[in-house]
Structures are given as C-alpha cells and as structure tokens.
C-alpha cells in the first residue's frame, strides 16, 4: 500500500508526520519506523508522529523516537502536529489534543505555534545538574562556552551513567547570555545524538534557570542550533504552571511511502 507522509521541522527538530485516522500505519513495527527515520536508508527524521482520531479532542498525537520506539512527549513535535492539523482542516487556530502525557492546548498564529505544556511541580538537584520532567525526563547542566562542547560524548556519558541507565534521560547543556536569554544544546535519548533543538528540553532549561535564580523573568528566550524558541510560565508555591512553548513549525515537503 502507498501512503502520504509530510516532513516537518520546528527549529531544526525534524519529523515524519502521517495522518493515521484510518489506522493504516503499522505502528507496532519498530524496524519499519526506525527505517523511515534513518537519514541514509529512509526519509530521515528525529522522530515519527501519527495523527489519530480522538473521541473528545481534536486529535491524538502518537510519537516515536528515531529508534522506532514509542516515546514520551515531544514539544516541537506537538507544535508541528498542531500546524499539520490546521493544514488538514481539522482545526482553525486552536487545538486540544491528547499525547502520552495527557491533554495539551495549542494556538497557531501564522507559522508560530504556542503549545501549553504540563504543570511541573518538582525540580530535583544532584551532582550532575537539575532534573526536571517536562513530559520527557531532562537533566540541565550549566556550562561555559556551550558552543565548544562535544555534546555527543558528554551527553552519552550522562545518559548511560548508572544513575539513568534504566530509562535514560535527555541531557541539556546551557550557557547564560543575559538575564532572560540562554544558549542550549541537547543530547536526546532515542536519537542517541545531539539534535538541533528539543522543545521539552528548552522548556526544562527555562524552568531550571528560573529555579536557580539565573533569570528574573517568566518569559525566556532560548537559542538552539536550529533556531530560537521562547518559554513563558507562571511560578507560585505549587510549582510551575501555565507553561507555553513558542516557536515556528514548518511543513517542508510531502511525499509518498512506497515500501
């Protein structure tokens, strides 16, 4: 069978997105999904996203890492699938959808998509850095000269360390530019390499920088290798809430699966 696919990117974090409302895609075939995401033998992407029907929301988002396994929440992917739902005519400028971590609201303004993330009640700190779950588990490490780091080597060392070996963790390296601006580079589990951007990662960084009093603001700009994202939030005695990840989502091309 032949099926259409769409290639999307959000600040360089790229995805294969498929309309699976007809339940035609073999989503239990890990090898096939991994092959589609392979940059030599497939389409090439950091992950694959399926848009499916939902009984009470606009749609359901199912996300797979490049290794072919279904994974936790992907922030940039959530923004891209919102853009895709608009393209399909399922929504106009607002959406409510379900992902693996629960319900999300999103608003599309031109090619910027604002995605509401889950409430974060806890930030843990250990010798490696600050640990935050923003729909996916992240560790945030403050560094100097982030552009000079060997992120693949340093990230893998933390990701496969004894403390995180069972489930793995995404590793974010952050350098302060000024009070509300930070450079970020992320090593992503499932991709097992640095990606150009990570939505849940920059969200974790923004909250960590507020937690560490590195920023006074509740609107933070984050520079990734793939572009600029913003995170705004509210902080009170219950933790971080009303968290929004803001950035571009772009449809790159449409193609047809033939194998």
Average pLDDT along the chain, 259 residues, taken 10 residues at a time: 92 98 96 97 97 98 97 98 98 97 96 96 93 98 98 97 88 97 97 98 98 96 98 95 98 93
Question: Which of 37, 57, 74, 80 is an active site residue?
Answer: 74
In a domain, 119, yes or no: no
* Buried-state track 208-225, b at ≥16 Cβ within 10 A, e below 16: bbbbeebbeebebbbbbb
In a domain, 152, yes or no: yes
Q: Identify the domain containing residue 154 by its residue range.
A: 124-247
In a domain, 130, yes or no: yes
In a domain, 118, yes or no: no
Residues 105 and 24 in one domain: yes
Q: Exposure of 207 by Cβ count < 10 A (0-12 exposed, 13-18 middle, 19+ buried)?
A: buried
- Give CA angle at 8 (74, 86), nearest 5°: 90
- Count of domains in the chain? 2
Residues 95 and 191 in one domain: no
Q: In the prediction, which pLDDT does 150 show?
A: 98
Residues 129 and 222 in one domain: yes
Residues 101 and 131 in one domain: no
Residues 25 and 86 in one domain: yes
Question: Which of 37, 57, 80, 198 is an active site residue?
Answer: 198
Residues 241 and 253 in one domain: no
Residues 180 and 208 in one domain: yes
* Annotated catalytic residue 37: no
Q: In the prediction, which pLDDT does 167 show?
A: 82
In a domain, 185, yes or no: yes
Q: In the prediction, which pLDDT does 135 show?
A: 97
In a domain, 160, yes or no: yes
Q: In the prediction, which pLDDT does 111 show?
A: 82
Residues 7 and 91 in one domain: yes
* Annotated catalytic residue 198: yes
In a domain, 88, yes or no: yes
Q: In the prediction, which pLDDT does 166 show?
A: 78
Residues 76 and 183 in one domain: no
Length of the chain equals 259
Residues 187 and 168 in one domain: yes
Residues 198 and 132 in one domain: yes
CA distances from 254 to 4, 9, 49, 80, 196 (A): 7, 12, 14, 14, 22
Q: In the prediction, which pLDDT does 165 show?
A: 76
Residues 104 and 144 in one domain: no
In a domain, 208, yes or no: yes
CATH number at residue 140: 3.10.310.10
């Amino acid at each position: 069978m032949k099926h259409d696919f769409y290639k999307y990117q959000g600040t360089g974090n790229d995805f294969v997105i498929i309309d699976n409302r007809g339940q035609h895609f073999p989503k239990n075939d890990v090898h096939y999904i991994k092959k589609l995401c392979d940059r030599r033998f497939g389409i090439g992407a950091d992950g694959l996203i399926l848009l499916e029907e939902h009984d009470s929301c606009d749609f359901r988002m199912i996300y797979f890492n490049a290794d072919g396994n279904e994974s936790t929440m992907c922030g940039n992917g959530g923004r891209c699938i919102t853009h895709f739902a608009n393209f399909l005519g399922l929504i106009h400028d607002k959406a409510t959808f379900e992902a693996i971590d629960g319900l999300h609201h999103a608003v599309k303004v031109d090619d910027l998509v604002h995605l509401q993330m889950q409430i974060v009640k806890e930030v843990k700190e250990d010798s490696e850095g600050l640990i935050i779950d923003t729909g996916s588990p992240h560790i945030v490490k403050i560094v100097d000269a982030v552009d000079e780091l060997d992120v693949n080597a340093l990230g893998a060392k933390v990701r496969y360390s004894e403390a995180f070996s069972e489930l793995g963790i995404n590793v974010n390296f952050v350098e302060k530019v000024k009070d509300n601006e930070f450079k970020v580079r992320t090593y992503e589990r499932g991709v097992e390499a640095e990606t150009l951007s990570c939505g849940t990662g920059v969200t974790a960084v923004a909250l960590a920088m507020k937690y560490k009093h590195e920023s006074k603001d509740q609107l933070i700009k984050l520079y990734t290798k793939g572009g600029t994202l913003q995170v705004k939030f509210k902080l009170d005695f219950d933790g971080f809430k009303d968290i929004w990840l803001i950035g571009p989502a772009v449809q790159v091309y449409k193609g047809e699966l033939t194998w």
